[in-house]
Structure 1
Amino acid sequence: MSGEASASPASAGDEGPPSGVPGFRVWALPGLPEVRPGDDLAKLIASTEPGLVDGDVLLVTSKIVSKAEGRIVEAADREAAIDAETVRVVARRGPLRIVENRQGLIMAAAGVDASNTPSGTVLLLPEDSDASARAIRDGLRDALGVEVGVVVTDTFGRPWRTGLTDVAIGAAGVRVLDDLRGGTDAHGNPLSATVVATADELASAGDLVKGKAAGLPVAVVRGLPHVVVSTSGEDEGTRGMVRGARDDMFRLGTSEAVREAVTQRRTVRAFTDEPVDPDAVRRAVAAAVTAPAPHHTTPWRFVLLESAESRTRLLDAMRDAWVADLERDGKSEESIAKRVRRGDVLRGAPYLVVPCLVMDGSHTYGDERRDGAEREMFVVAAGAGVQNFLVALAGERLGSAWVSSTMFCREVVRDVLGLPEGWDPMGAVAVGHAAEEPKARPERDAGAFIEVR
């Protein structure tokens, strides 16, 4: 890579690598005036006589796109602007917020920026950077008759790495990702996870010559025509570069992750037949047994029903006991069948867990009131353990449903599973992968559940 910040195509110094050696050139584009709201960026770039040729890639700093599109607000409104641009808070530390903005990007302060803009103002990101890139590409084709790619860039910090770099937030006419999966490396090893972020690499290359304070907001890359794609048809833009929530293992900050897991824990009543990872369930149990408990006890036991045979044997025995109870209550066959069907959520799950309460370490007072309170403390601790378990399962991307049915036939459950007499089954938890997205939970006003004294 070569090129001074003020270089032009004809005077960029070294003409490139030796013949036959892969390489490219990158230089900043001089002569661009201060951009103002309403300016046509393609015409401004064309007016600098940039000497563009087919296959070049233009790297355009998002700030000049925002200025041209009038995305300027008063600095006093910065916090309100961040709020307006924010879809969700990913992490917060003091006044600093890392958020997902309306463009789907995860970044500090939703991309609202006070640099390279007149004093007293801040810039918002373009509303649709892909559309902005298309407008510049089309405008340059009309003005100069060239087929180029355009990447709109912005500066990002990165998890686990110190320092900033430019990445692509919009693109047109550029192959933004190079999917090498299915190929092999130089040693013949299969490539199963290699997808190169070509547009981000181009953005970073341009940042090396544009700089942050040199007043050179546009760079040109030449020598990589294979990354420029036909302008016909639908342009993919940068939408596919944003990792989806399901595949994002680092979606939240620590405190936000805890709140997200709690609020996103939902009762799942229909599961796919995808197997459950037993290690994930064991990790959830490890979280469960950190719950508070009286007298430094450990009143939880979790029975994992990992074989289909064990699940069927238990559920059949529970069904028979339940039917016998309902018949003794005088329920009709139709009523009994309807009630028994409610237990189908357990039969449809590929994995079952029976949490049990043990009273080891409890105190006996010989007083009905105090002994009753003692048991209640242990029951509350058992519930806390189950809640930890359910939340941890949600964190493992597993759905669950806590069903109380084992509490109505504890002797049957103990007998079928061979459990000690002192183990009290506290329901059963169906575990698996949700067959469909859960319905939206009705909003609840927390204030309605609070009394302050």
Structure 2
Amino acid sequence: MELFAVPDLPEIRSGDDLASLVADRVDLRAGDVVCVASTVVSKAEGRTVDLADVTAGERARSVAARLERITGEEKDPRFAQVVIEESSDLVMEAPFLLTETRFGHITVNAGIDRSNVPGADLLLLPADPTASAARLHEEWGVPAVVTDTCGRPFRHGQRGVAIGWAGMPASRDWRGETDRDGRELDVTVESVVDELAAAANLLSGEGDGGTPVVVVRGFEFGDHAGSDELFRSYEDDLVRQALQEWEFDG
């Protein structure tokens, strides 16, 4: 398997045909998987916000005031308002905003970005990353994975994860298969879209790299069952349940 970044992509702007811009620069082959940073998907879909256009509601002002009191840092209630609007649930309101996006991803501040957003204050995640991936998959004829970076509980640092995918299952389901000693596996489900996203992030990087699209060539899913269950439901997420029972009082 090999990975390479698509070269010479321009700054993506609202309305740009991202699929064509990529296809013009690389000869995609059957079996390729294309990992696309959510930032360029969002830019093409016009998912930018100017804070001057935002009016903070009562809840946003309360959330911002509490965060400011706890952290000692100034918090803009308009930013809190945008986070609330992009979230189906605030999993934690302090000492930071841990949210569930409307498509099921748990992340800080609804994944809203302030960097690499020329001409706007904020860049939102795609409204429906899997639908975005499906459009790219249809244009390219190969699987597409929309990626983002986020932290992981119990570890420092960020890594690439998949937030949308199309053209392939999210996971290899090893349940029912056996190990080398013939023992049956009963819990192993391997999130291959996350693994491909993390590998792609080594090339797309962070900051000012300017290489947001990475082609994975030679990946083989193998003869395994597939699963599209990536985001845990609330009923299946013991950590989230514990967090929402715990109240941070500062």
Query: Which interval holds the TM-score relative to the shorter structure?
Result: 0.7 to 0.9
Secondary structure at the counterpart of residue 215 of structure 2: strand
Which of structures 1 and 2 has the bigger CA Rg? 1
Q: Write out per-residue CA displacement over residues 56-82 of structure 1, whole angstroms, 9 at most, x where no aligned residue.
A: 000000010100111100145432210
Counterpart position of 1:221: 216
State the AA in 2 paired with 1:110: A
Q: CA shift at 1:245, angstroms?
A: 1.5
Quick one: which of 22, 25, 29 aligns to 1:45?
22
Task: Give distance in 1, aligned partners of 2:127 and 2:107.
Answer: 15
State the AA in 2 paired with 1:219: V
Question: TM-score scaled by structure 1?
Answer: 0.46
Secondary structure at the counterpart of residue 43 of structure 1: helix
Is 1:207 the counterpart of 2:201 in the alignment?
yes
Counterpart position of 2:163: 169
State the AA in 2 paired with 1:85: E
Alpha-carbon contact 2:7-2:211 (below 8 Å) kept: yes
State the AA in 1 paired with 2:49: V
Counterpart position of 1:68: 44
Q: Write out per-residue CA displacement over residues 16-47 of structure 1, whole angstroms, 9 at most, x where no aligned residue.
A: xxxxxxxx101111111111101111111112
Task: Give distance in 1, aligned partners of 2:80 and 2:245.
Answer: 23
Question: TM-score scaled by structure 2?
Answer: 0.82
- Output aligned runs, 1:77-92, within 5 Å: 77-92=78-93
Counterpart position of 2:118: 118
Counterpart position of 1:277: none
Secondary structure at the counterpart of residue 99 of structure 1: strand
Counterpart position of 1:368: none
Secondary structure at the counterpart of residue 246 of structure 1: helix
Task: Give distance in 1, aligned partners of 2:89 and 2:137.
Answer: 32
Alpha-carbon contact 2:172-2:221 (below 8 Å) kept: no
Alpha-carbon contact 1:85-1:101 (below 8 Å) kept: yes
Secondary structure at the counterpart of residue 251 of structure 1: helix
Task: Give distance in 1, aligned partners of 2:172 and 2:221.
Answer: 11
State the AA in 2 paired with 1:60: V
Q: CA shift at 1:120, angstroms?
A: 4.5
Alpha-carbon contact 1:75-1:114 (below 8 Å) kept: no
Task: Give distance in 2, aligned partners of 1:244 and 1:183.
Answer: 25
Q: CA shift at 1:225, angstroms?
A: 3.9
- Output aligned runs, 1:131-142, within 5 Å: 131-140=131-140
List, as ranges, runs of 4+ consecutive aligned residues in structure 1 with deviation greater than 4 Å: none
- Output aligned runs, 1:349-360, within 5 Å: none
Counterpart position of 1:447: none
Q: CA shift at 1:243, angstroms?
A: 0.8
Report the number of matched residues: 220
Structure 1 regions of 5+ residues with no counterpart? 1-23, 141-146, 228-235, 260-453
Task: Give distance in 1, aligned partners of 2:21 and 2:98.
Answer: 34
Q: CA shift at 1:127, angstroms?
A: 0.9
Task: Give distance in 2, aligned partners of 1:166 and 1:251.
Answer: 21
Is 1:28 the counterpart of 2:28 in the alignment?
no
Task: Give distance in 2, aligned partners of 1:224 and 1:84.
Answer: 38
Task: Give distance in 2, aligned partners of 1:31 and 1:186.
Answer: 46
Q: CA shift at 1:252, angstroms?
A: 4.2
Q: CA shift at 1:218, angstroms?
A: 0.2
Task: Give distance in 2, aligned partners of 1:120 and 1:173.
Answer: 32
